Structure 1
Amino acid sequence: MRLAQIAQRADDLTRAADFYTVLLDRGPVATYDPPGLLFFDLDGVRLLLDRNAPSALIYLHVDNVHETLERLEGLAAVVTPPHVIFTHEDDGLGPAGHEEWQAFIRDSEGNTVGLIAFQRP
């Protein structure tokens, strides 16, 4: 079993498409309006932006939290600035010997999105 799709609320599909195209560094793969559905491919997992979906807290893996926030400057509000949550001693939840950095932003639709990066200290 694997994760196939995550849905996130988006009232304005055009605004959400613009925001997530910058965040994900790739464009949407499909739009169906009506009924108000916008899809991005996250390496085999679909991110569905949907006018009728509830807000979800999703976490996205990025190469570098700081660089991602720089790219999003003016587009996203920082809810929680970048910080190290812990260092992985083994490969149980992340690569051994790496710090796990997280930050939280508010997207164009008011949803909170977590950003995660694994970096060597």
Structure 2
Amino acid sequence: MRLIQVAQRAENLDRAAEFYSVLLGTRPQAVFDPPGLLFFDLDGVRLLLERGAPASLIYLAVPDVRRLMEELEAGGVEVVAAPQVIFRHEDSKLGPAGTDEWMGFIRDSEGNTVGLVSQLPGGGPPV
């Protein structure tokens, strides 16, 4: 079994398309309006931004959450929580051993919280 699609609320599809195109670095794969559906492809998993869908909390892997969040904030994106190490991967159960898992949170154009995650080389004491 594999994850095929995640849905997120988007009341304004044009605004959401612009926001997520910048965040993801890619244009939407498909738009169906009506009924109000906007799709992005995330390495084989569809991100559906849907008018009237419930809000959800999605987490997106990014190369360096610290750098990306600085860029997003400079561009006017609201930072909900600054990036910080939330977990040290001592083994490879949840990520590459020896890495630190960094997370930060932003608010998207539709008021949803989005988690941004990076697994970066570790080096400090356990968190």
Could you state the TM-score of these two structures normalised by the residue count of structure 1? 0.96
The one-letter code matched in structure 1 to 2:100 is E
The one-letter code matched in structure 1 to 2:26 is R
Give the CA deviation at 1:83.
0.3
Structure 2 segments unaligned to the other structure (5+ residues)? 123-127
The 5-angstrom pairing of residues 1-121 of structure 1 reads 1-73=1-73, 74-121=75-122
Give the CA deviation at 1:79.
0.5
Q: SS state of the match for residue 100, structure 1?
A: strand
Q: SS state of the match for residue 111, structure 2?
A: coil
Give the CA deviation at 1:82.
0.5
Give the CA deviation at 1:75.
3.9
The one-letter code matched in structure 2 to 1:117 is S
CA RMSD of aligned residues (A): 0.9
Q: Which has the larger radius of gyration?
A: 2
Name the CA distance, whole Å, in 1 between partners of 2:76 and 2:13. Answer: 15
Alignment CA distance shift 1:47-1:75 (3 Å): farther
The one-letter code matched in structure 2 to 1:93 is L
Runs of 4+ residues over 6 Å off in structure 1: none
Give the CA deviation at 1:51.
0.3
